[in-house]
Amino acid sequence: MIESTARTSSVSGLLAEIADIGTDSARGGYSRPVYSAAELELREWFIAAARARSLDIEQDRNGIIWAWWNPARLPLTDAVVTGSHLDSVPGGGAFDGPLGVASALAAIDSLQAGSVVPERPLALAVFPEEEGSRYGLACLGSQLMTGAVTPQRAAALTDADGTTFADLAARNGLDPAGLGRDDERLSQIGCFVELHVEQGRGLIDQGRAIAIGSSILGHGRWRLSFSGQGNHAGTTLMDRRRDPMLAAAATVLDVRRLGRAVDGARATVGKLDPIPGGSNVIASRVDVWLDVRHSDDVVVAALVADIAAVAREHAGAEGCSMTLTEASMSPRVDFHPGLRGRLSDILPDAPILPTGAGHDAGVLKEEIPTAMLFVRNPTGISHSPEEYVEDPDADAGGDALATVLANLLTQP
Ligand code: GLV
Ligand code: MN
Ligand code: MN
């Protein structure tokens, strides 16, 4: 007999519990960088919610939280995993990440209330630094777990305040020497299903609430560092300057021009760091952060090369130099056809949609079958406070996830 706590929660009710955590009055929306006070509070909320559901909690050596539902104490093998992340972009919305975590908790409630007898263990997982907002490297937790990022590289990453990831990890109870590929955990997982707010307009256009993910664009981040001569804004004559801001500005416009010229490409500069960054100072260096995405990784590489070539020309024209550094590159992902097909059988009305957004499910796909569910976002806007999900759609997502999990836990 499976013990049942018979708790039921609505996804919107769970999200309401965390609505005040990490609000950002300056930017609007939420700023919940990994291991910030806000993200730590969210982790505590998740752990308490998991405990209240009699789940067994552990934080692994990469900082991923696992909450196991394994009432029959089955061997930890072929486990079904669901979950998402709790960190956010600066000034992000309420749903990117937390919707998948809240839906996982709501799904557990309906599995427990429905007396589902799992034949495989189930884990709810919360991945750290999915957005890469603090250390520049997206999906850092899952990339460490799979070994896609080496522990040495992760440990040396530095945030805007100069704190290394190794120091931050140690401060949060992790052993920096323990970071890295986790064969034991990977061998325990049979599949991963991540529910996520849709970050585009696919479901709006189709008039549906829930979709199944098909693929993720290849995407990456690059830093273009323009170096010139820092100097005084008042005393340096206009024709005696080596101002990297001008090369950076010209490059930003060319990112749009070159990105538009490639069918299906997305090319974005969302962050500029002028150094030292004073209003009466000609910058000595400007770092331009470039995000490029396309369904074909070769096209991504070619577009970045074209952007780098014009950036070098702009730098030369201003008496500056430019160096290009790849911060991350995530190849195109096609989710596991068998698992995706199974989700389609379980949810026959759900359309199949690709996405341009990166996810831990995309990283884990290299190791285990993964799939995604998307929930309609009526604004079609994401990475912004305007990201939104209607309560009935959030609950439909939680129900769809519970239906999928019940099937995966009980059918071969
Ligand atoms: C994360 O949401 C990304 O796509 O960058
Ligand atoms: Mn996300
Ligand atoms: Mn995101």
* Residues 106 and 249 occupy one common structural domain: no
In a domain? residue 166: yes
Average pLDDT, stretch 199-211? 97
In one-letter notation, the amino acid at residue 217 is L
* Residues 347 and 309 occupy one common structural domain: no
pLDDT tops 60 at residue 2: no
In a domain? residue 6: no
Range of the domain at 29: 11-217+332-410
Helix residue spans in 37-114 (DSSP H): 37-52, 98-113
In a domain? residue 83: yes
Question: pLDDT, tens digit, for every residue of 119-155?
Answer: 999 999 999 999 999 999 999 999 999 999 999 999 9
pLDDT tops 70 at residue 4: no
* Residues 307 and 389 occupy one common structural domain: no
Cβ contacts of 243 within 8 Å, gap of 6 or more: 228, 229, 282, 283, 318, 320
Distance 307 CA to ligand 1 centre (A): 21
Provide the percentage of residues in the chain whose pLDDT is more than 90. Answer: 97
Is the separation of the CB atoms in 88 and 197 below 8 Å?
no
* Residues 139 and 87 occupy one common structural domain: yes
In a domain? residue 3: no
Is the separation of the CB atoms in 362 and 139 below 8 Å?
yes
Distance 320 CA to ligand 2 centre (A): 37
Q: Is 85 annotated as a binding residue?
A: yes
* Residues 197 and 248 occupy one common structural domain: no
CB of 292 closer than 6 angstroms to any ligand 1 atom: no
Question: pLDDT, tens digit, for every residue of 295-333?
Answer: 999 999 999 999 999 999 999 999 999 999 999 999 999
Q: Which of 330, 361, 381 is where one domain is finished?
A: 330
Helix residue spans in 25-86 (DSSP H): 37-52
Question: pLDDT, tens digit, for every residue of 352-363?
Answer: 999 999 999 999
* Residues 108 and 130 occupy one common structural domain: yes
* Residues 174 and 321 occupy one common structural domain: no
Question: pLDDT, tens digit, for every residue of 45-97?
Answer: 999 999 999 999 999 999 999 999 999 999 999 999 999 999 999 999 999 99
In a domain? residue 238: yes
CB of 358 closer than 6 angstroms to any ligand 1 atom: yes
pLDDT tops 70 at residue 30: yes
Within 10 angstroms of residue 8's Cβ, the number of other Cβ atoms is 12
CB of 220 closer than 6 angstroms to any ligand 1 atom: no
Q: Domain count of the chain?
A: 2
In one-letter notation, the amino acid at residue 194 is E
Rounded to two decimals, what is the model's pTM?
0.95
Pairing of β 333-334 and β 285-294: unpaired
CA distances from 13 to 5, 132, 258 (A): 18, 28, 45
In a domain? residue 48: yes
- Residue whose Cα lies nearest atom 1 of ligand 1: it is 358
Distance 114 CA to ligand 1 centre (A): 35
Q: Which of 280, 315, 330 is where one domain is finished?
A: 330
pLDDT confidence bin for 6, thresholds 50/70/90: low
CATH, residue 172: 3.40.630.10
pLDDT confidence bin for 115, thresholds 50/70/90: confident
Question: What ligand has the least distance to the C-alpha of 89?
Answer: 3
CB of 138 closer than 6 angstroms to any ligand 1 atom: yes
* HSE, side-chain direction, 13 A CA sphere, residue 216: 28
pLDDT tops 70 at residue 219: yes
Is the separation of the CB atoms in 346 and 126 below 8 Å?
no
* Residues 178 and 119 occupy one common structural domain: yes
* Residues 81 and 139 occupy one common structural domain: yes
Distance 384 CA to ligand 3 centre (A): 10
* Residues 106 and 224 occupy one common structural domain: no
Terminal alpha carbon distance of the chain = 21
CB of 109 closer than 6 angstroms to any ligand 1 atom: no
How many whole angstroms separate alpha carbon 221 and alpha carbon 204?
29
> Among residues 139, 111, 137, 138, which one has the least CA distance to residue 124?
111
pLDDT tops 80 at residue 170: yes
CATH, residue 286: 3.30.70.360
* Residues 194 and 284 occupy one common structural domain: no
Question: What ligand has the least distance to the C-alpha of 355?
Answer: 1
3 state DSSP class of 111:
helix
Cβ contacts of 122 within 8 Å, gap of 6 or more: 68, 69, 70, 79, 80, 81, 82, 108, 111, 405, 409
In a domain? residue 397: yes
Average pLDDT of the residues of the chain: 97
Long-range residue pairs from 261-265, CB within 8 A, at least 24 positions apart, any chain: 262/294, 262/299, 262/303, 264/294, 264/295, 264/299, 265/292, 265/293, 265/294, 265/299, 265/300, 265/303
Q: Is 131 annotated as a binding residue?
A: yes
* Residues 303 and 178 occupy one common structural domain: no
Q: Which of 310, 330, 350 is where one domain is finished?
A: 330
